[in-house]
Structure 1
Amino acid sequence: MGSNTTAEAKQKYAGYKADHVGSFLRPQRLKNARKAVTLGELGLEALRKIEDDEILNLVAQQKAHGVHAITDGELRRAWWHFDFMENLLGVEGFDEQKGYQFNGVETKPHQVRITGQIDFNPEHPHLADYKFLHDAVGQNDKHIAKMTIPSPNMFLHRKIRFSSDIYANDLDRYVTDLGQAYKKAIQAFYDLGCRYLQLDDVYWAFLVSQQRVDEEKEFGESTQTLAAACVKSLNLALADKPDDLVIAMHICRGNFVSAWIYEGGYDGIEDYIFKNLNNIDRYFLEYDNHRSGGFEPLAKLKDTTAEVVLGLVTSKVETLESESEIIERIHAAAEYLPLSQLALSPQCGFSSTEEGNSVAEEAQWKKIDLIHDIVAEVWGTEG
């Protein structure tokens, strides 16, 4: 495991200890506009203008709350992943009969399927979305525009990878095309000025969920084979990346209206994610409750340049964490990985889908402020 990112780039673009995963609660004005579009009462051009306005407001709010890595909150998206995935070549989105079953709640019935050879779309709409954010943030020593996209591994879910016979169960060719498509995507964002890119990956959590492991076995699949495929897709995507581009990977256990879908510690995948992946600079790891396991696997990153952003503050409930308890947990993690390689963030975004978590907007910003207060106490920095 190693990274080609220069120390100068890491310090310039991600040299802070307070971070966040990416999505923020959708403003009511934006929710109303989306509904109006669905009802045929508002056009897409008018919706785009409302999105622009709300993103500019969000950028200003993030700056006011001391956020360094600024996102567009994923305000233009209905889903954290499908909006990107279905705009690749060889992929389409569709509404199926049943949504994803989370703990006590079901999502809207949307999905993607393979329709041809997978490749990057040079007209992908997220490129224009990033350019708007980049220009809105401005380039200075205090702020950086961070882009978030789903990991190529999201295509490894069985329902998607078997949605067509185009790849004829050829997992190696499938993963290779995914990796190459994402390599083009990463370069395209870089060419627009992106220097901090985050890959969001729920599939790793799928592979540590015993229920899902058992399901794959029923279909004759080895989770070891699938984990190796995950490594290959990411390493292909990140091969020869620019050395002044910081790459983060967020491993999530599901985040939909404050519900979750997977549980399991990092023990079963620690070698794959910490030893076999290349060019990952920051790992955003959920650690807000017992479902994420212990800190012991972090020891695998000793003597590397990688950092772990501890997701100790939950985005799922409004209750504000105890500052002293979070500090205690940070020091517990530091028993396995030096404090200099640790940072702090919420465990996930506040609105992975347009519905958002069951959290008030005021509580969202209190969580962000708490993180900065803790960082000042533990690391002696503003963020």
Structure 2
Amino acid sequence: MSAAPRAPPFRAEHIGSLLRPDELVKKRYAVADKTATADDLVPVEQKAIREIVKLQQDCGIHSITNGEYSRHQFWGTFFETLNGMEEINMREGGYDQSIFRAYAPDVKSFMHAKTIPNSVTMATGKISHTGTSSFLPEFEYLKTVVPKENWKDVKLTLTSPSWYHFRYGPNKAYVKGVYNSDDEYFADIAKAYQTELKILYDAGLRNAQVDDPNLAYFCSEAMLEGWKADKENIQTADEQLDAYLRFYNDCFKRPDDFHLGIHLCRGNYVGSKHFSEGAYDNIAAKLFKNLNVSTYYLEYDNPRSGGFEPLKHLPLDKNVVLGVVTSKFPELEDQQEMVDRVYKAADYVAEGSKQSREDALQRLSVSPQCGFASHAEGNALGHEDMKKKLQLVRSIADQVWRGQA
């Protein structure tokens, strides 16, 4: 077994999205309501990206992102731009809500608030990649802002392969007659995902992070109870998780020098809301051993994520980024307490691997638990609060891993 890759991930990491300046948010909404044009947005967006890159650099963050400033929401427009996928404008009361899993944590939250989930997108035809990447322009602009020697460190956040599958009931992620089974649907998405990764790799991208709320839902007892009670399900939750891991591995085929991580998100919606909770114990062994990624970005900012015990399952060739600093609220964590938590996590990794604490620490990093603005408006904290959080992450890393990026 080879050693876990390093740099990336770096000792001080973040999850990608950063608070957008008001000017950018307002301009994007103006474009949406047609009081401004897409051309009007470009200089505002590029100025904001240049400024947020400098902030990351000033805070000692090496896995530079564009803050997701080119997107309205964290998942971007990958699925929406594939052949065969259609964003259907299903207005309240104008469709059959039974297509959704009412117990899916994000759907449950959306239904409670406004009766429809965000961005109802499904396959209305056979899925294929168009050959044009919706993510590539983000990376290409970052290449004009970051020195060439650091392009390999730039991190791009990518859409979960199952983002538009989990929320729908069995065989409802596609219009009847388009696919005969999930396996057929997954196979076409996997081909499209591989094409996307190849386009990005050929452009020079070597560091990517998949943002995935859906796998974390399998930690939620409420979701699992809802799944078990749903008579429409044709497989158990465990069988669905296994199917997702196989599907993701097909999507994630890539060259050996392409670092790919996955963030298991508990939800990060307007006003610092979360969607799900539950310890990683239910899924850790399968997740760490069976999923073809190098790094897991895990949320550990409060008790709803459980303890560090599941880290005993971490293989020697994989990393975990410990999200011990919250991105949801402005209160600043105590640095020494966070350092102690990192050491506690390392002890569980060491126990599972029969290593010393020092050896186990080589597979760990630290970060905020989630992005600061998965959606346009961002979390319930200010720009200066975010900066202090990033500086704290850097300080924790410097105390635990002195002299390491």
Q: Same fold (TM over 0.5)?
A: yes
**1:264 alignment partner in structure 2:** 278
Matched residue SS, 2:263: strand
Matched residues in 1 for 2:37 and 2:396: separation? Answer: 44
One-letter amino acid of the structure 2 residue matched with residue 259 of structure 1: K
What's 1:191 paired with?
202
Partner of 2:191: 180
Structure 1 residues 51-99: Cα deviation after superposition (integer angstroms, max 9, x where no partner): 1221111112211111100011111111112522212222122343468
Counterpart Cα distance in 2 of 1:136 and 1:116: 39
My pick for the range that moved more, 177-186 or 119-128, is: 119-128
SS in 2 for 1:334: helix
Residue 35 (structure 1) aligned to one of 17, 29, 43: 29
The one-letter amino acid paired with 1:200 is D
Quick one: structure 1 residues 329 and 130, their matched pair in 2 at CA, closer, same or farther if it must change by over 3 Å? same
Question: What root-mean-square deviation, in Å, do the aligned CA atoms of Structure 1 and Structure 2 show?
Answer: 2.3
Show the counterpart of 1:113: 122
Query: Alignment partner for residue 172 of structure 2, among 139, 162, 174?
Result: 162
Q: Which residue of 2 aligns with 1:371?
A: 393
* Deviation sequence 1:7-30 (CA, Å, 0-9, x none): 7xx44x415200000000111110
Identify which range, 247-256 or 172-181, moves more after superposition. 172-181
Matched, 1:306 2:318: yes
Paired AA for residue 345 in structure 1: S
Correspondence for 1:230: 244
1:211 deviates by 2.0
Offset at 1:133? 1.5
CA, structure 1 residues 32+54, in 2 after alignment: closer, same or farther (shift >3 Å)? same
**How far is the alpha carbon of 1:324 from its aligned partner?**
1.3
Is 2:310 the counterpart of 1:294? Answer: no
Residue type of the partner of 1:317? F
For the 8 Å contact 1:263–1:291, the answer to whether it is kept is: yes
Give the distance between the partners of 2:49 and 2:76, measured in 1 at CA: 20
Q: 1:277 to 1:38 in 2, by over 3 A?
A: closer
Aligned residues: 374
Higher mean alpha-carbon deviation, 90-99 vs 256-265, is at: 90-99
C-alpha contact 1:21 1:348 (8 A) present in aligned 2: yes
User: Given that residues 152 and 205 in structure 2 are in contact (C-alpha distance below 8 angstroms), is that contact kept between their aligned partners in structure 1?
Assistant: no
Unaligned 5+ residue runs, structure 1? Answer: none
- Asked whether the 8 Å contact 1:96–1:110 carries over to 2, the reply is no
Cα displacement (A) at 1:126: 1.8
Once the two structures are TM-superposed, the CA of residue 114 in structure 1 deviates from its matched residue by: 1.3
1:332 lines up with 2:326 in the alignment: no
Partner of 1:252: 265
Q: Percent identity?
A: 34
Pairing partner for 2:45 from 34, 46, 51: 51
Map of 2:155 onto structure 1: 146
Residue of structure 1 equivalent to 2:14: 20
356-365 or 118-127: which moved more? 118-127
CA distance in 2, matches of 1:341, 1:256: 30
2:143 matched to 1:130? Answer: no
Distance change (3 Å), C-alpha of 1:322 and 1:95? farther
Residue 169 of structure 1, CA deviation? 5.1
Q: 2:378 aligns with which of 350, 356, 363?
A: 356
* Partner Cα separation in structure 2 for residue 130 and residue 339 of structure 1: 31
Please tell me the residue identity of whatever aligns with 2:267: G
